Structures are given as C-alpha cells and as structure tokens.
Amino acid sequence: MEAGPKVTRLEVTELEYEIKNMGTDYNGFNLVYEKGSTAKRRMAVLQIYTDQGIVGETVTSSVELSTAPIWAGYLIGKNTLERERLYSDVKRALRQVARIGVSAMDNALWDIAGKYYNSPIWRLLGGHIRPLPAYASTTHGDENGGLDSPEAYAEFAVQCKEMGYPCFKIHGWGGGRVDREIATIAAVRKAVGPGMALLIDPACELNTWGDTWTVGRACDDARFFWLEDPYKDGGISQFGHRKLRQLIRTPILQTEHVRSLEPHVDFAIAEATDFMRGDVNYDGVTGVMKLAHACEGLGIDIELHGGGPLQRHLMTSIRNTNFYEMALVHPRNEGTFAPIYKDYRDGLDVIDENGCVYAPEGPGAGVELDWEFIRKNRTGGVVYE
C-alpha cells in the first residue's frame, strides 16, 4: 500500500492589508463603518510541502501560527494522510497553550488529502452539494452614519430580506448599552415581519448577567432564533448560561470561545447552551467534524462560526446545522472579507436568489490563493525544514 505524501517543509507567510471605509469603535477592538478611514487587518498563510509535489495551503492568523515552532519539527517526515494521529499528538503537545495552532496544521493536511485524492474536502467527508442558507451577519454598530440606530439596523434587515437572506444577525454596539440593544431587537423584528429568522450576538459586550437577562427577555418577545455570547464572562461560564437558559425561552448559542471537543461537550452536558458553536479556525476540520458528530449524538445542532471555503465544506457535510454566516456585512462598505483568493469570495451580494451559497467543488479546499495579493502585502514569514 502506498504511504501517502510525506511532509518536507513548512512555510508561514504573514500579511497585512487595508479595508476601506472601516474604523474601530470605543476601545479599538471592534471593526465598524467609518467613511474615509482605513482599518488594518492581519492574517497568515500556512503551506505544508510534501515529497509528492502536493502543497497544502490554509489561511489562518499569526496567533495560530505562533505555536508552529513547537510542532513544525514533529511534522517533518510524517505521512500527511494520518490526520487522526497527527491531530492527537499535536493537540497533546499544545495542551499548555490552549491548543492554539492545531487547526492550521489540520486544515492544511485536509487540503493535501483532497489534492491527493483529487476530491473536494466535502466529498472525503461524505457530503453532497446542496444550497447552504446564509445569514447576513452585520459588523458592529457605529456612530458614523452607518448602522448607527435601531432604525438603521431595521432598514438593513429589510434590504437583506429583499435580497433573499432567510436570516439576519445583529452585532450591536460596543459598550453594552442595553436600551439601544433592546430597541434594535424590537425594530428589526417589526420591520421584517414574522418570517425571517433573527439572531443577536452582543459579542460579550453586555456588562452584567442582569443585562443579559434583560436582553434575553426582549429576544423572547421578538421571537429570536438564538441569542449568542451575550456578556462579559467572555462566553465561557457554564453556570451563568445554564441559569440564563432556565429563565428565557430564546435558545442560546455558546462555545464560540471554547476550544477542543471535550470542553464543548462538557458545556452541552452542563445544559449551558442550546446550539453548539464550531470554529474551523480553532479546532480544524477534524475537530469540527468530531464536534458535529458529538452534537448529533446529543440530538442538537452545531452552527459554524464565520464564513469561508472550509466552513462551506463542513456545512455541506453535516446534517445537524442550520445557517452559513456571511460575515461581516454592512450596507455602506465592502465588509470584512479579505480578497485573498482568486476564485472565491464572501460578501453581502454573494448569495443566490434564495439566500444560499455553495461549497467549492475543486480538489482540497477548492480555492486558489491570490499570491500576487499576498506577496504585495507580505510583512514577514518563516520556513521550517
């Protein structure tokens, strides 16, 4: 039996690029609309070279690749098709650094596997091409004439509904002002009517559990589909979210900020979330599929964080999931998607008339990186061999 491609070399490329008409809000963390400003964003590409000429590529962050010095040496010479073993070994090796980095390795290995078998990742996972219903996931609220009032959100939600989106998600304002959050929940529901699924993600900006309970009751009144990561525990308190679930009717979505399979499952078993979050940039294709099957065993759904080719491969391969996150969109700028691929993009207008997107069909991740763009914006890099 053939051994499969072996790792010969790893290359990390870091880049920084600008997004037009974007700034940041009160503490510099949230990207918000700001006409005439440019915001800087950083990302990184990992390439895993093999002795058969196949190169696995994945887009990630410098943070994920900060642990590469720990695992790059281990990976050299390994059979790239033995993902389960490699994932388990590296997960263990990274146990004291929150398992940061295992996803980047794993996602590049899946790209290699797909290219080796001349098959998209979703086919290796047993998926089938189908429409993936998307939600318009807004940037945070601003004070700059964009999403700057409950009425502005309502107007944008109606625009998205008319474009075909079956679902809309509010990322509210930074700073945790509860009254404006509640007014937005009510205004959006009133504007779109009863048919559209609505979500709200305060992104852990609400200051107290009490604020969270108050916003949760507003979600109940407006029949929201989920309330996500509401308050400043940072999305990790099992006890706090279990208490919240006991007092509101709206389903909650937690575990975006929990890494690895076991803590996710513990969260569900503690009855601290309704929907499970899975993030391919934290846990990799391997980790998210394990989580999807764990959720299936518990009879609950997994919702994938963020948009991108790998999220589409995964969603196409999972039954128990509802919506694709078209992130982060805004009525007056291009949103936050990085133009890093030649043949793939996300953005407000990417959906079909039914509000759906589809997985790429080429081998591996099924996308071609735009190396001209990457080299032009390169800020550094490192080679391991």
- C-beta closer to Mg ion: residue 29 or 376: 29
Which residue reads 């590529």 in tokens?
57
Measured CA to CA in angstroms, residue 176 lies from 42, 143, 210, 281 at distances of 27, 14, 12, 27
Where helices occur in the chain by DSSP H, the ranges are: 62-65, 68-75, 83-93, 102-116, 121-124, 150-163, 178-192, 209-221, 238-247, 261-269, 280-298, 309-316, 371-376
Q: Which of 25, 34, 57, 201 binds Mg ion (CB under 5 A)?
A: 201
What strands lie across the sheet with 55-60, from one edge to the other? 55-60, 31-50, 7-24, 378-384
Instruction: Please identify, among the stretches 16-24, 67-75, 197-205, 264-272, the one whose residues bind Mg ion according to the rule CB under 5 A.
Output: 197-205
d(CA 286, CA 313): 12
- C-beta closer to Mg ion: residue 35 or 257: 257
205 touches Mg ion (CB under 5 A): no
The residue of the chain with the least Cβ separation from Mg ion equals 201
Smallest distance, Å, CB 305 to Mg ion? 6
Pairing of strands 7-24, 31-50: antiparallel
- Residues 297, 302, 304, 310, CA torsion sign: positive
**3-state DSSP call for residue 161?**
helix
Smallest distance, Å, CB 229 to Mg ion? 5
Smallest distance, Å, CB 325 to Mg ion? 8
- C-beta closer to Mg ion: residue 89 or 274: 274
Smallest distance, Å, CB 201 to Mg ion? 4
What is the total count of residues that contact Mg ion (CB under 5 A)? 2
- Stretch 230-289 residues interacting with Mg ion (CB under 5 A): 256
- CB-facing half-sphere around the CA of 103: CA atoms within 13 A: 27
Smallest distance, Å, CB 353 to Mg ion? 27
- C-beta closer to Mg ion: residue 45 or 327: 327
Smallest distance, Å, CB 139 to Mg ion? 12
d(CA 256, CA 108): 22
Smallest distance, Å, CB 202 to Mg ion? 9
Q: Which amino acid is at 108?
A: A
Task: Tell me which H or E stretch contains 251.
Answer: none
- C-beta closer to Mg ion: residue 211 or 256: 256
- C-beta closer to Mg ion: residue 23 or 230: 230
- C-beta closer to Mg ion: residue 14 or 256: 256
Which residue reads 């079909």 in tokens?
352
Q: Which residues bind Mg ion (CB under 5 A)?
A: 201, 256
